[in-house]
Amino acid sequence: MGFETLPPLAARFLENFLKNPARTALYIRGEKFSYKELMARVYSIYIILKTKKITASRIGIYGGDDAETYASVLAVSLYGASYVPLNPGNPAARTEEMIKQSGIDCILASGSGAPRLNGARIINTSIPEKKTLSLPLHLSWEGMERVNTSEAYLLFTSGTSGTPKAVPVLKQGVYNLFQYFLEREGYDFKNTDRWLQMYDLTFDGSVFSLFLPLMTGASCYVVPAGGVKYIEIASLMESQKITVALMPPSVIPYLEPYRDTIKFPHLRYSFLGGESLLYRSACQWQKLTPRAKIINLYGLTETTIACTAYLFDKKTAVAESAKGIVPIGKPFHGVKYCIVDSRGKSVIKGVKGELCISGVQLFNFSSGGISSKQLLKRGGSIFYKTGDIVRENRNKNLEFYGRKDRQVKVNGYRIELGEIDFYLREITGSQAVTLCVEKGKGVKRLYSFIEGSARQKDRIKAELFKKLPGHMQPYSITYMGKIPLNRNGKTDTGKLLAMIQR
Amino acid sequence: MEEEKILKELEQVLRIFFRNNQLSIKAETPFTEFSQWDSMAHLELITTVEKHFKTRFHFSEAAAIKCAGDIAKLLIDRMKPPKK
């Protein structure tokens, strides 16, 4: 497929609706929606956009785990625009900043809960079932498209300066990823598959978990928000006999204690990504998923969800797992990479360095809020410096060695510790340091330390909730006279870690 | 009566777990109301309770635990003589 005139991401959802309207497309909050029922909602939202003559190439979607929000994503896609998901759970100031950066002036919102958002026009998408429009006899994405943008969606990642970073992702990148999974690599996805969707729509794992099932005529099962996440995931996987799942490896240690009482025999493909996968976790997971092929995926929002993959095999992976971390594998077709040292020079084969990614899956860096320091020019191509330290092994698989900066992954969420420190300093006017600490079995938590007394503890917590989303809130905040420094005048993390262990 | 006794013992376990000697629990108070409650805390608490009461919960049982009353019910069920 050429990338010049790409159809909307939801085009094949529409084709699958025409082929198999009665098949289940979406399972959400315990309710099943057939392709026809979902399409009826999508079409109703599409008609609203058309009637209101929306011409913007980006449309915001404010909502969570309800059918209308999912239908809005598909409707915006068929309309030809790029979608910008906004999470109602995020602090209002953060949402306002996202609206400002993305330049959206039209937001689809399910329910009446949408607040006034930075002057943007809010369109309510809650449509009573009886009021969904009858579907016309002939539907095609070519006939529905009203705007034609090369951008598929725009997401935000954590930024050290205190403001979230906009990452516009192109359709060409998403289609390259789809081709890898649907055409190039021989994955045997079936229209009877039941896919797990455990991600918030503001996280790019949701693009994988929503669009791939709908492209293959299969069903997407959404993990309910709230509750204890790993329990909701496992319960849904078990009760609905999930066959394909993408999840972060941090789910595994939570389920391991129940290895005698829980199994996922129906799982055929288990994609793990978003965090480093430990060899021992992969082995434990294989015991719970005896029929599943385990695939370790690597990628950033900037490189369109995933751009390298490694098929896990207990026997071969043991020798390839450097420091007990399963390799991230080889890049997808169309993805270029180089490994560079701290001066930006290519390292000798087999030497560790920073992974830089270029090629068709690279985000639209010309319209994102990216610093030129994160880009590297090499042989006429622009590479994105990922900040991840890797090494190419003898089998040409990339081994992952961690980060070169203070970016961490907690439960699959990418977090700049500097962003938390920024707000803690802003709120308290004092020095603050946040550490990410593994608390047994690969589960991580955030611990913040602030210079000062605990008198204003409640105010600080409340203020921080106004600035940062839930996944960026510290698990604990410790107040101390002075943050300890080492001989080089840097934060003595060893002493802080010892305090946490106590 | 049995539930009351178990809840009292459970309160002691939770006081140590949450490092709060003043903690007082009601059977129906959801654990989510405790600050510092997260997935890890949920797992750690269940493991602590299992060790203290020398029992093991099935995944589906652990999944259904939302408050102290849920744990008490499971423990009471385990004390009942097996059905013939």
Considering only the beta carbons, identify the residue of A234, A255, A443 that sits closest to B40: A443
Q: Would an 8 Å CB–CB cutoff place A475 in contact with chain B?
A: yes
Does A279 reside within a domain? no
Long-range contacts of range A377-384, CB-CB < 8 Å, 24 or more positions apart?
A378/A338, A381/A336, A382/A358, A383/A336, A383/A337, A383/A338, A383/A356, A383/A357, A383/A358, A384/A300, A384/A302, A384/A303, A384/A356, A384/A357, A384/A358
pLDDT at A441: 67
Considering only residues A471 and B79, tell me which one the structure prediction assigns the higher pLDDT. A471
Considering only the beta carbons, identify the residue of A228, A411, A475 that sits closest to B42: A228
Rounded to a whole number of angstroms, the distance from the CA of B40 to the nearest CA of chain A is: 7
Domains of chain B: 2-79 (1.10.1200.10)
Does A461 reside within a domain? yes
Considering only residues A412 and A207, tell me which one the structure prediction assigns the higher pLDDT. A207
What chain A residue is nearest to B30 in terms of C-alpha separation?
A227
Please give the average per-residue pLDDT across A196-208, as a whole number: 95
A contacts of B38 (beta carbons < 8 Å) = 445, 475
Q: Which of B19, B32, B43 to mutate to test the interface with A (most CBs of A within 10 A)?
A: B43
CB–CB contact A261 B42 (8 Å): no
CB–CB contact B39 A254 (8 Å): yes
pLDDT at B79: 79
Considering only the beta carbons, identify the residue of A261, A411, A476 that sits closest to B58: A261
Domain boundary among A149, A174, A208: A149
Q: Which of B38, B48, B57, B61 to mutate to test the interface with A (most CBs of A within 10 A)?
A: B38
pLDDT above 70 (res A275): yes
Q: How confident is the model at residue B84 (pLDDT cuts 50, 70, 90)?
A: low
Of A99-103, A121-125, A278-282, A345-349, minimum mean pLDDT range: A121-125
pLDDT at A312: 98
Q: How confident is the model at residue A128 (pLDDT cuts 50, 70, 90)?
A: low
Of A42-51, A187-196, A365-374, minimum mean pLDDT range: A365-374
Distance (Å, whole) CA A45 – CA A38: 11
pLDDT above 80 (res A489): no
pLDDT at B28: 87
Interface of A with B in 409-438 (CB under 8 A): 411
Q: Which of B19, B39, B65 to mutate to test the interface with A (most CBs of A within 10 A)?
A: B39
Please give the average per-residue pLDDT across A441-448, as a whole number: 83
pLDDT above 70 (res A3): no
**Which residues lie closer than 8 Å to A277 by C-beta, 6 or more apart?**
A249, A296, A312, A325, A326
Considering only the beta carbons, identify the residue of A235, A411, A445 that sits closest to B63: A235
The mean pLDDT of chain A is 91
Distance (Å, whole) CA A220 – CA A211: 9
Has the ipTM of the complex gone over 0.85?
A: no
Domain boundary among A149, A175, A207: A149
Which domain does A104 fall in, by range?
A: 1-149
Q: In what order do the strands lie in the sheet with A293-298?
A: A31-34, A24-28, A219-222, A194-197, A244-247, A269-273, A293-298, A308-311, A330-331
Considering only the beta carbons, identify the residue of B36, B43, B58 that sits closest to A254: B43
pLDDT at A262: 92
Q: Would an 8 Å CB–CB cutoff place A228 in contact with chain B?
A: yes
pLDDT at A198: 94
What chain A residue is nearest to B46 in terms of C-alpha separation?
A257
CB–CB contact B63 A231 (8 Å): yes
Q: With H, G, I as helix, E, B as strand and everything else as coil, classify residue B57.
A: coil
CB–CB contact B63 A229 (8 Å): no
Per-residue pLDDT tens for B12-63? 988 888 777 888 888 888 888 877 677 778 888 898 999 899 998 999 898 8
Of A92-101, A131-140, A258-267, A475-484, minimum mean pLDDT range: A131-140
pLDDT at A130: 60
Number of domains in chain A: 2
pLDDT above 90 (res A254): no
pLDDT at A364: 94
Distance (Å, whole) CA A123 – CA A150: 24
pLDDT at A114: 65
Does A174 reside within a domain? no
Rounded to a whole number of angstroms, the distance from the CA of B12 to the nearest CA of chain A is: 21
What chain A residue is nearest to B35 in terms of C-alpha separation?
A475
The vertex-A457 CA angle with A452 and A462, nearest 5°, equals 130
Closest CA to A239 of A255, A260, A223: A223
Rounded to a whole number of angstroms, the distance from the CA of A60 to the nearest CA of chain B is: 30
CB–CB contact A445 B40 (8 Å): yes
Please give the average per-residue pLDDT across A480-484, as a whole number: 85
CB–CB contact A230 B39 (8 Å): yes
Rg (CA), chain A: 23
pLDDT at A109: 93
A167 pairs with which residues across the strands? A155
CB–CB contact B43 A257 (8 Å): yes
pLDDT above 90 (res A493): no
* Sign of the torsion formed by the C-alpha atoms of A353, A359, A363 and A369: positive
Domain boundary among A149, A177, A194: A149
Does A238 reside within a domain? no
Q: How confident is the model at residue A235 (pLDDT cuts 50, 70, 90)?
A: very high
A31 pairs with which residues across the strands? A28
pLDDT at A181: 97
Q: With H, G, I as helix, E, B as strand and everything else as coil, classify residue A345.
A: coil
SS3 track for A41-58: HHHHHHHHHHHCCCCCCE
Rounded to a whole number of angstroms, the distance from the CA of B83 to the nearest CA of chain A is: 22
Distance (Å, whole) CA A434 – CA A429: 15
pLDDT above 90 (res A228): no
Q: Which of A223, A229, A230, A231 to mutate to test the interface with B (most CBs of B within 10 A)?
A: A231
CB–CB contact B59 A261 (8 Å): yes
Number of C-beta neighbours around residue B37 at 10 A: 15
Closest CA to A208 of A269, A293, A120: A269
A contacts of B42 (beta carbons < 8 Å) = 228, 231
Under an 8 Å CB criterion, which residues of B touch A?
36, 38-40, 42-43, 47, 58-60, 62-63
Interface of A with B in 253-272 (CB under 8 A): 254-255, 257-258, 261-262
A contacts of B47 (beta carbons < 8 Å) = 257
pLDDT at A430: 86
Distance (Å, whole) CA A29 – CA A36: 18
Rg (CA), chain B: 13
Per-residue pLDDT tens for A75-122? 999 999 999 999 998 898 899 999 999 999 899 998 756 666 667 888
Q: Is-contact A461 A477, C-beta < 8 A?
A: yes
The vertex-A276 CA angle with A272 and A277, nearest 5°, equals 55
Per-residue pLDDT tens for A138-182? 899 988 888 989 999 999 998 877 789 999 999 999 999 999 999
Give the domain CATH number at A427: 3.30.300.30
Q: How confident is the model at residue A418 (pLDDT cuts 50, 70, 90)?
A: confident
Q: How confident is the model at residue A69 (pLDDT cuts 50, 70, 90)?
A: very high
Considering only the beta carbons, identify the residue of A231, A254, A476 that sits closest to B36: A476
